[in-house]
Amino acid sequence: MNMIKNIAKDKITLKDIADIAGVTSMTVSRVVSGKGSVKETTRQRILKIVREMDYKPNLLARSLSSMRSMTIGVIIPKTEQVFLDNYLAQILTGIMAVVKEYDYKLMIYPVEDSESKGNLYLTVARSKLVDGIILLKPKIHDKNLKSLAESGFPYILVNHRSEEQFYNYIDTDMHGSTVMVTEYLFEKGCRRIGFVAGNREEQNSLDQLAGYHSGLKKMGLNFEEDLVIYAEGHAGKAYSDMDNWLSPHQMPDAIICATDYIAIAVMDRLKSENISVPDDIAVVGFNDIDLAKFTQPKLTTVKQPLLGLGKTAAENLIGLIEGEKTSPVQTSLDLQLIVRESA
Amino acid sequence: MNMIKNIAKDKITLKDIADIAGVTSMTVSRVVSGKGSVKETTRQRILKIVREMDYKPNLLARSLSSMRSMTIGVIIPKTEQVFLDNYLAQILTGIMAVVKEYDYKLMIYPVEDSESKGNLYLTVARSKLVDGIILLKPKIHDKNLKSLAESGFPYILVNHRSEEQFYNYIDTDMHGSTVMVTEYLFEKGCRRIGFVAGNREEQNSLDQLAGYHSGLKKMGLNFEEDLVIYAEGHAGKAYSDMDNWLSPHQMPDAIICATDYIAIAVMDRLKSENISVPDDIAVVGFNDIDLAKFTQPKLTTVKQPLLGLGKTAAENLIGLIEGEKTSPVQTSLDLQLIVRESA
DNA sequence: CTGAAAGCGCTAACAG
DNA sequence: CTGTTAGCGCTTTCAG
């Protein structure tokens, strides 16, 4: 029997293994970390002891010494929804896939909207806990973005196209796709196309709104303020603000919704008013969430390549971290209209 | 003008601050970490320099030295869905709320089902990157749970009730609530109550199934194998396996679904077969996801206190970490039937 | 209230 | 291929 097995296993260090193996901790380090070469026989001997002792490296020490944490941070805007929002969930899933592939780890930083205490981004950056950060849907007026960009710390903005030349971002073409939707509805015969807007503190939503304007213009339609509901992304607000539309001559004949959640609420309201979708009014959503195909009628929507967004963001960030890419990284992914039953 | 401001700000250490302030790094440490007392005047002087220099502590070094990372890890089963599943999303949201409140940080570890390479749990535990871990819905046959429990490292199992006396877990009473649902349907006049089961590798789903059995028995109904679909949690499988029910005399008059996603798929199938819910068949889901109130008809479902689950798990874990609680922690939260239109 | 000394466990860099 | 030296930046502990 082996006495060694009775030692407390939760504080075994490289040195302990080294002493048993009769080498220096440096040699064990090379074996365990896989960096540097070691004679095959001693390598095997060390590996055996590592297994017997059930040694697990202290990653904290490793990171402090190597100046690399091998983890990336994700900053999530914590409005009401956070994870409840499938939108973020999908992007995160994409990020996770890449993170795993490259053997990185993942740290989550939820951020209150109000939060402004001393530039969280730089605090995170300098904490050395992460090698780079991905910011999901930052607010357009976020003052701290600039100092982050200037700091040289690796970061990627997701869904935050910027006119500024120096920001790193991955985005989807919200403007173009909203024009496309307007065009689609026009060709279906719609002439009073309404719009329920998202959160105007997000670049994304502004682009959508601008796309709606462009689309109308392109089709030769006039913009009417009454046809827009500024729901700021809240399904509940969309539902109740539809009051204004509920006199027959005010009604649009098509409604573009900033998100699928909003579209669902809108359809629910229409149903309760006995207005038929798509016969009386066509409804289009954005995102193609899981449940879009289960609504009655099934929701016509614009599919965001959310998984791809997450993956691209993570891949580019890791590229930046490992010096294989250089700033600025600026990418825009295409969207796709999924025609189902609601329009 | 202050020359100091031009120094590279991303590698300022306690020592730098100390030198400028004319004290030892130890004094600065006390000020920055808030532990230990410092004369008020020097405290203010140091704080001023900290601000001017924009010093941010290196948390890696702090953790290595103090043996506390102030972060908790969450192990997420990465089946197909991960974050896409609102279920996990809500629990995570609850965890995040508490984590923020207690000034902890959050690390995410997605786990492949197949994954068994050298007990991830212990590897994470010994990495010192986290002070404790929460395991979401571990599989019942997971061999590694036992060694984790024996290691003494703080952990909490979420939704994994166990007969074993020594496991720490937070769970919801799936058995009892499924009995309650069966009873509810019986009282509505249903006598052929069907059941679409979840993933039988999760204790949770097994409890549901057992609750279904108990419920039938309690109501004096016989269990019929034909009334159960083993969809293993997949909405798509539920949809297609309903084939078996689609001859009139095979049809149940009520269907209990393991999750709302399944319930939605089931209702969709019934709709496509021109079977009316709830007039012909009553449908009940589990979880009360966001969209349950938007389905047509609105879904009657069992509300899981998912946010509460997450919060309770995190609070208890932190209690364990900080020595305010002792193992085993075993809690079961109550569920609530939300009656809407589908049953 | 402040300082000195001694690490936390690992790795970079340089020898040999 | 292996060892030595010297930290990474912070905190613990013990003095004073």
What string of DSSP letters covers A192-224?
SEEEEE--TTBHHHHHHHHHHHHHHHHTTPPP-
Sign of CA dihedral A29, A34, A36, A42: positive
CA–C1' nearest nucleotide, residue A66: C11
Residue A139 per-residue DSSP state: B
CATH 1.10.260.40 maps onto chain B at: 2-57
User: The tokens 């028995």 sit on which residue?
Assistant: B217
Q: What residue is closest to C6 (Cα–C1')?
A: B65
CATH 3.40.50.2300 maps onto chain B at: 67-171+307-333, 174-305
- pTM of the model as a whole: 0.86
Which nucleotides in chain C lie less than 7 Å from some protein C-beta? Answer: 1-5, 7-13
> Contact B105/A110, CB-based, under 8 Å?
no
Task: Please name the fold of domain B2-57.
Answer: 434 Repressor (Amino-terminal Domain) (1.10.260)
b/e burial code for range A164-183 (CB count within 10 A of at least 16 → b): eeebbbbbbbbbbbbbbbbe
Order of strands, sheet of A336-338, starting from the edge strand that comes earlier in the sequence: A228-230, A193-197, A254-257, A282-287, A300-303, A336-338
Contact criterion met (CB below 8 Å) for B255 and B192: no
> Contact B151/A10, CB-based, under 8 Å?
yes
CATH number of B67-171+307-333: 3.40.50.2300
What does each of the 343 residues of chain A score in pLDDT, given as a tens digit? 333 444 566 689 999 999 999 999 999 999 999 988 899 999 999 999 999 999 999 999 999 999 999 999 999 987 656 556 677 888 998 999 999 999 999 999 988 866 666 789 999 999 999 999 999 988 888 888 989 999 999 999 998 887 777 899 999 999 999 999 999 999 999 999 999 999 898 888 999 999 999 999 999 999 999 999 999 988 889 999 999 898 767 889 999 999 998 999 999 899 999 999 999 999 999 988 877 887 889 999 999 898 999 999 999 999 999 999 888 899 999 999 999 999 9
CA–C1' nearest nucleotide, residue A126: D9
Of A127, A294, A296, the CB nearest to B58: A127
Q: Helix, strand or coil for residue B228? A: strand
> Contact A86/B82, CB-based, under 8 Å?
no
CATH number of A174-305: 3.40.50.2300
Contacts of B141 (CB under 8 A, 6+ apart): B201
Among A13, A17, A60, most B C-beta atoms within 10 A, so best to mutate, is: A60
Among B126, B268, B272, most A C-beta atoms within 10 A, so best to mutate, is: B126
> Contact A89/B78, CB-based, under 8 Å?
no
User: The tokens 């006995």 sit on which residue?
Assistant: A274
Of A60, A109, A128, the CB nearest to B129: A60
CA–C1' nearest nucleotide, residue B21: C2
Q: Cα separation of A333 and B7, whole Å?
A: 39
